[in-house]
């Protein structure tokens, strides 16, 4: 056969698509996690909350225990009334404050005279009288509905009068953006410190539960037989009592709250769900060929568990751990809410919510901000957990 019967085609591989480089298990999981928008939003929220709790107090001029009694129960948004060159804010308990036009608190105006019968208070500002008349609020109750005033008080200064239903402007409280509590403590700073307490308890308790649950569940699942029966019956006994009630009983037994006691109480019972999960994963993996091969060549049991079984079950373990963190945050907040949490004046989100109960109808913002922090944290971790569940599932790999 002669060579002229063959025609050289040249380089025909220039337009062939280069094969995508192979990805490791974790690289592929991260690639798919980034495609989950809700998980990435949750991750951004968690990073923000962590930075908010760790770095935020450094930029605050207050500490969590600082009390400024003259500024107690200030809201985050001020209804300001302009009287000549004076801007004032009148609180729900009829304290009067001089405010700058941009919303920055200047000082509380001192009360000079109080007429309890006529419901008229007189204040002094730079030597001049500022009169607050809230007798309308009482008189309204004795008038027909169509004759009632739509305002609760009037404030007068230099011949000018402002009415409660006609604030000149609304401004964000520049001095206390989240407002203050009944002792004049800055709520923004206390929510920051609350993030430290709540997240610290949640992360430490979750890590401790992770180690206990993984070790306990892996031993139970790998050994099987009577060892498995005994270990699982212990788990059943612990699980027969609601875990929150068990934690409350432990806190009572510790005779009070405290950061260390909360961590110990949570760590002592929250590992049972992790142990059940790990045991189920180990039972499904220990009969695989690579485990049988490791047993045949004489690999010690500890190494089989540590180097073969647990790494192959790491996906569900990480997902479960991500779901345990919001549960721990909620439990810690609940314990602080019922008075078994950190001691005053330290602040956790549950403590702040408990302190806000007495003035809930009058000062709802005091409950809104810690409750919002708890809700956002739990939602963010749940979004991350859902994304990790999808990203680490090998059946979804493409």
The beta strands (E) that lie in the chain are given as 77-83, 86-90, 96-99, 105-115, 120-125, 128-133, 154-157, 160-163, 169-172
Q: Determine the Cα–Cα distance for residues 283 and 217; give it in Å rounded to an integer.
A: 10
What confidence tier does 47 reach under pLDDT thresholds 50, 70, 90?
very high
Each residue's pLDDT tens digit, 311-335: 888 888 888 888 888 888 888 888 8
In the chain, the percentage of residues whose pLDDT exceeds 70 is: 89
CA-to-CA distance for 389 and 398, rounded, in angstroms?
15
Domain boundaries, the chain: 77-172, 187-396
Across the range 15-42, mean pLDDT stands at: 77
Q: How far apart are CA 272 and CA 54, in angstroms?
A: 31
What is the average pLDDT across 171-185?
90
Cα–Cα distance between 78 and 157 in angstroms, integer?
19
| pLDDT for position 141 | 55
How far is it, in rounded angstroms, from Cα 22 to Cα 299?
A: 30
Looking at residue 379, what is its pLDDT? Answer: 92
Query: Alpha-carbon Rg of the chain, whole angstroms?
Result: 32
- Residue 303: is it exposed, middle or buried by C-beta count within 10 angstroms (0-12/13-18/19+)? exposed
Identify whether the C-beta of residue 278 lies closer than 8 Å to the C-beta of residue 317.
yes
Per-residue pLDDT of 294-309, as tens digits, reads: 888 888 888 888 888 8
pLDDT band at 147 (very low <50, low <70, confident <90, very high): low
Name the pLDDT band for 8 (thresholds 50, 70, 90). Answer: low
Residue among 321, 323, 335, 322 at smallest CA distance from 198: 335
Q: Which CATH class is domain 187-396?
A: mainly alpha
Give residue-wise pLDDT tens across range 349-388.
988 988 888 888 889 999 999 999 999 999 999 999 888 8
Phi, psi (rounded to 5 degrees) for 168: -65, -40
């Amino acid at each position: 056969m002669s060579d002229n019967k063959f025609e050289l085609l040249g380089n025909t591989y220039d337009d062939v698509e280069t094969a995508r480089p192979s990805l490791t298990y974790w690289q592929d999981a991260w690639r798919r996690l980034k495609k989950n928008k809700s998980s990435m939003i949750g991750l951004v929220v968690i990073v923000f909350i962590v930075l908010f709790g760790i770095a935020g107090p450094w930029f605050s001029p207050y500490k969590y225990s600082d009390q400024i009694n003259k500024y107690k129960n200030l809201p985050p948004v001020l209804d300001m009334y302009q009287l000549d060159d004076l801007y004032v804010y009148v609180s729900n308990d009829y304290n009067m404050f001089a405010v700058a036009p941009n919303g920055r608190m200047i000082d509380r105006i001192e009360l000079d005279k109080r007429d309890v019968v006529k419901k008229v208070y007189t204040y002094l500002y730079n030597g001049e009288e500022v009169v607050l008349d809230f007798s309308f609020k009482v008189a309204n109750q004795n008038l027909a509905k169509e004759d009632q005033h739509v305002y609760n008080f009037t404030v007068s200064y230099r011949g000018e009068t402002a009415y409660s239903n006609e604030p000149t402007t609304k401004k964000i409280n520049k001095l206390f953006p989240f407002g203050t509590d009944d002792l004049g403590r800055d709520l923004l700073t206390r929510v920051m410190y609350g993030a430290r307490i709540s997240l610290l308890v949640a992360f430490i308790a979750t890590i401790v539960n992770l180690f206990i649950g993984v070790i306990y569940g892996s031993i139970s699942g790998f050994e099987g037989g009577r060892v498995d029966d005994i270990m699982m019956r212990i788990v059943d006994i612990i699980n027969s009592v609601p875990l929150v009630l068990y934690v409350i009983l432990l806190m009572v037994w510790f005779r009070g709250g405290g950061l260390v006691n909360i961590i110990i109480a949570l760590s002592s019972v929250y590992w049972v769900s992790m142990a059940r999960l790990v045991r189920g994963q180990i039972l499904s993996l220990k009969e695989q060929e690579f485990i049988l091969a490791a047993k045949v060549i004489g690999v010690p049991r500890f190494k089989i568990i540590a180097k073969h079984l647990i790494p192959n079950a790491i996906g569900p373990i990480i997902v479960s751990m991500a779901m345990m963190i919001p549960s721990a945050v909620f439990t810690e907040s609940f314990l602080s809410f019922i008075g078994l949490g950190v001691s005053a004046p330290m602040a956790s989100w549950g403590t702040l919510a408990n302190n806000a109960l007495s003035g809930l109808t009058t000062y709802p913002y005091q409950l809104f901000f810690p409750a919002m922090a708890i809700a956002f944290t739990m939602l963010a971790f749940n979004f991350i957990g859902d994304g990790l569940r999808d990203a680490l599932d090998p059946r979804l790999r493409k």
